[in-house]
Structure 1
């Protein structure tokens, strides 16, 4: 897993690169989460990569502008596992939408 310190926006020192969507396959359960701290495509990509590493996740789409992360999974995900993945990326899970 990647690691990023939670020091606000990741855009303070580098340019942003999109990579917001990690799409393996779409199926199963769709859950939308509200995440705080995402400000750019790099942020979206970091959150997407961490969540996509969870067992059962088939696709992830993070949108910094709304703070929403849509996750498709084969079965319902454990909220603590999702929270840990988002924390690992350097952001905060606020709630399910």
Structure 2
């Protein structure tokens, strides 16, 4: 299952790394792809979207469904 989010305050590669680590902490097998210019994160995982979203929010990011 693929889930996409818009993360408006994802502005640099450090943000990308932080978000990727947060997602993989709750979904170790997740495939995370990011588009920094579009501020879009796409996650391929069997973990529920709300769990993935919460992991990113817990890192301090504003997350919206894409």
Q: Bigger relative contact order, structure 1 or 2, given CA contacts below 8 A and separation 6+?
A: 2
More helix per residue: 1 or 2? Answer: 2
**Superposed pair shares fold, TM > 0.5:** yes
Gaps of 5+ in 2: none
Larger Rg: 1
Distance 2:47 2:8 in 1: 22
Gaps of 5+ in 1: 1-28
- Considering only aligned residues, what root-mean-square deviation do their CA atoms show, in Å? 1.8
Q: TM-score, normalization: structure 1?
A: 0.58
Choose from 9, 17, 21 the match for 1:45.
17
Aligned residue pairs, count? 66
